[in-house]
Each structure stands twice: as structure tokens, then as C-alpha cells.
């Protein structure tokens, strides 16, 4: 099984190499992972403007993955930049971290809260939840007050506090980590400390693990997205050449 990870940021060890390590850590035996970064974009995705800038290159890389014979693509960003357009462009499964994590949350509880880096991302998160079709399941969005590049294990105490507040004050039954690159240990650490604080098990979803396993499931069962929902764009239009769609 060959799966391409598209990291929608310019290459840096802080995000790209970390994404590779996290996906490799949770990939099943027999999964061959390849990782690529955008050539044009930003160093991190921290607003709608950042997300819009990287979408053309994300779609180009997904199209290239299909040409290279990849069985599926994963977009390594919770905001799912370019995911819908990429699904129109190719026939192989394309899975975004946001849609994977939110749909997993929907399986595990009736209401979920998203832990994100900063408050200014709240509108973007709420929009994503609505796009996924789970607007009525969102209990809250809460911030740990750290930038994307600083969102690491040092943020666990604040993340636990916010998760506890989401459960006790907002009615959350599942917690979703709303940022990739948080480290393979962060979600389990938060889950354990959250259970100790609230007195019962509350799932804490790592979007990397959710995306990896959902993508593996789609490939192994031969499933892919509907071309009614995501129809192919008009073929051979010359103005699509900047993403290679007409080639």
C-alpha cells in the first residue's frame, strides 16, 4: 500500500520531518509512506489566508501522487486546505486530517470540542466542522494560546485544563486535537490526565492517527470518494496547467 503524505507548508524540520515521524509511527506494516511539501506557500497554516495560498500546490502534489501510482493521499493539516478540490481532481482517496478526526469523534461520542492553538482560529474551525456536516455536534473550540510552531509537549498542562473545561462547562464528550504535529505522545498524555480530573474516560483524538487509519481502511476496502459529490473538473482547460490538471 503506497500512501503519499502532502504537507501543505514549506519544508522545515519543525513540521515536515515531524509529520513524517508521526505518520510512520502509526502506519501499519506493509504501508509505504512518501512525504512531500509544497513549493509555494507558507511556513505554517494559521489562518484562512495561509490555507488559501497553499491550495494550488496541494492539488498539484495530489495529482502528481496519482500519476506516481500512489494508492491514496493524506493532507497533513487539520484545516484540510485543498482537500475538496483535490478530490475533484483525482480518483484515488484523499483524506484531510480535519475531516478524519472529526468523523472519528462522531463515532465516539455525541458532542466534541476542538483544542486549537489560538483564538483567532475559532471561526476557521467552526467553518470546517460545518463543512464536514457535524455542526450540531460541536460543543466548543478552545485555545491553548500557543502558535502552531510552539504547540508541543510544553502545552500539555494548558491543554488538559482546556479539555477539562470543555467537558465540565461545554458538555464535550470527546476531545479533538485541532492541530497536526503535536507529537505522538501528546494526545495520550492529555487523555490520561483528563480521565484523572473528570473521573471517567474521555477520548482524545490525534488527527494524525485518525487520518492514517482511515486512509488505510479506504485503500484496503477499495473505497474512494463519490464523483457525484466531487465531479471531475472540465478536462484539458489550459488555465489549469499551473497545477497540472490538464496533463
Evaluate whether 2-96+209-243 and 99-207 have a shared fold.
Answer: yes
pLDDT tens by residue, 7-65: 999 988 777 778 888 899 999 999 999 999 999 988 888 889 999 999 999 999 999 99
pLDDT for res 174: 98
99-207 placed in CATH 2.60.120.560: no
pLDDT for res 188: 92
Tell me the pLDDT band of 120, cut-offs 50, 70 and 90: confident
pLDDT tens by residue, 188-211: 999 999 999 999 999 999 999 999
Q: Which three cell numbers stand for residue 225?
A: 470518494
Q: Do the beta carbons of residue 207 and residue 176 sit within 8 Å?
A: yes
The CA-atom distances, in angstroms, between 90 and each of 4, 55, 67, 213, 220 are 13, 15, 9, 20, 18
217, pLDDT greater than 80: yes
d(CA 3, CA 74): 7
232, pLDDT greater than 70: yes
Q: Which of 21, 23, 6 is nearest to 73 (CA)?
A: 6
- CB neighbour burial string for 91-114, b if at least 16 within 10 angstroms, e if fewer: ebbbbbbbbbbbebbbeeeebbbb
CATH number of 2-96+209-243: 3.40.50.12500
238, pLDDT greater than 90: no
Q: Which three cell numbers stand for residue 22?
A: 508521526
Residue recorded with cell 473538473: 233
pLDDT for res 211: 96
pLDDT for res 42: 87
Tell me the pLDDT band of 124, cut-offs 50, 70 and 90: very high
Whole-number CA gyration radius for the chain? 17
pLDDT for res 119: 85
Q: Do the beta carbons of residue 175 and residue 115 sit within 8 Å?
A: yes
pLDDT for res 234: 82
Parse the chain into domains and list their residue ranges: 2-96+209-243, 99-207
pLDDT for res 39: 92
Supply the pTM of this predicted model.
0.91
pLDDT tens by residue, 130-189: 999 999 999 999 998 766 656 666 778 999 999 999 999 999 999 999 876 566 688 999
pLDDT for res 111: 98
Q: Which three cell numbers stand for residue 206?
A: 490525534
Q: Which three cell numbers stand for residue 25?
A: 509511527
Amino acid at each position: 500500500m503506497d500512501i503519499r503524505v502532502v504537507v501543505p507548508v514549506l519544508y522545515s524540520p519543525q513540521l515536515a520531518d515531524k509529520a513524517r515521524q508521526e505518520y510512520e509511527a502509526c502506519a501499519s506494516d506493509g504501508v509505504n509512506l512518501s512525504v512531500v511539501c509544497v513549493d509555494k506557500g507558507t511556513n505554517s497554516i494559521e489562518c484562512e489566508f495561509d490555507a488559501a495560498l497553499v491550495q494550488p500546490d496541494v492539488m498539484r502534489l495530489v495529482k502528481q501522487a496519482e500519476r506516481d501510482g500512489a494508492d491514496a493521499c493524506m493532507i497533513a493539516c487539520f484545516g484540510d486546505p485543498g482537500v475538496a478540490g483535490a478530490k475533484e481532481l483525482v480518483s484515488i482517496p484523499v483524506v484531510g486530517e480535519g475531516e478524519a478526526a472529526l468523523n472519528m469523534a462522531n463515532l465516539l461520542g455525541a458532542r466534541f470540542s476542538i483544542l486549537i492553538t489560538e483564538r483567532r482560529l475559532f471561526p476557521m474551525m467552526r467553518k470546517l466542522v460545518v463543512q464536514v456536516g457535524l455542526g450540531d455536534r460541536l460543543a466548543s473550540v478552545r485555545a491553548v494560546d500557543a502558535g502552531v510552531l510552539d504547540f508541543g509537549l510544553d502545552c500539555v498542562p494548558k491543554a488538559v485544563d482546556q479539555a477539562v473545561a470543555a467537558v465540565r462547562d461545554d458538555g464535550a464528550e470527546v476531545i479533538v486535537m485541532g492541530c497536526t504535529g503535536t507529537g505522538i505522545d501528546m494526545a495520550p498524555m492529555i487523555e490520561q490526565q483528563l480521565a484523572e480530573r473528570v473521573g471517567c474516560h474521555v477520548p482524545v483524538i490525534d488527527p494524525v492517527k485518525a487520518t492514517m487509519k482511515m486512509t488505510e481502511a479506504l485503500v484496503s476496502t477499495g473505497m474512494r470518494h463519490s464523483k457525484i459529490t466531487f465531479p471531475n473538473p472540465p478536462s484539458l482547460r489550459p488555465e489549469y496547467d499551473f497545477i497540472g490538471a490538464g496533463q
